[in-house]
């Protein structure tokens, strides 16, 4: 019956692959959100001459 103890190790490989895929997807999503926020902040800084961005900048400085 030692064969049954080795079978779960093979059946758990797809679960590990799925976990790695989820980790990669979460890392990609977090990096995408981070770059989106950074680009949004750069956009607000570049458009400070407009009134809306000026209001946002004043609120962020408060």
Tens digits of per-residue pLDDT, 49-60?
566 666 766 776
CA distance 21 to 7: 23
CA distance 16 to 10: 10
Identify which of 8, 4, 20, 60 has the alpha carbon closest to the alpha carbon of residue 37.
Answer: 60
The H or E element that residue 54 is part of is helix 51-61
Q: pTM, whole model, 2 decimals?
A: 0.43
Quickly state the pLDDT bin for 25 (edges 50, 70, 90).
very high
């Amino acid at each position: 019956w030692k064969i049954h103890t080795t079978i779960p190790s093979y059946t758990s490989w797809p679960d590990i692959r799925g976990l790695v895929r989820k980790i990669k997807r979460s890392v990609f999503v977090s990096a995408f959100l981070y770059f989106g926020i950074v680009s949004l902040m750069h956009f607000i800084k570049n458009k400070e001459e407009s009134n809306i961005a000026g209001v946002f900048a004043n609120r962020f400085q408060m």
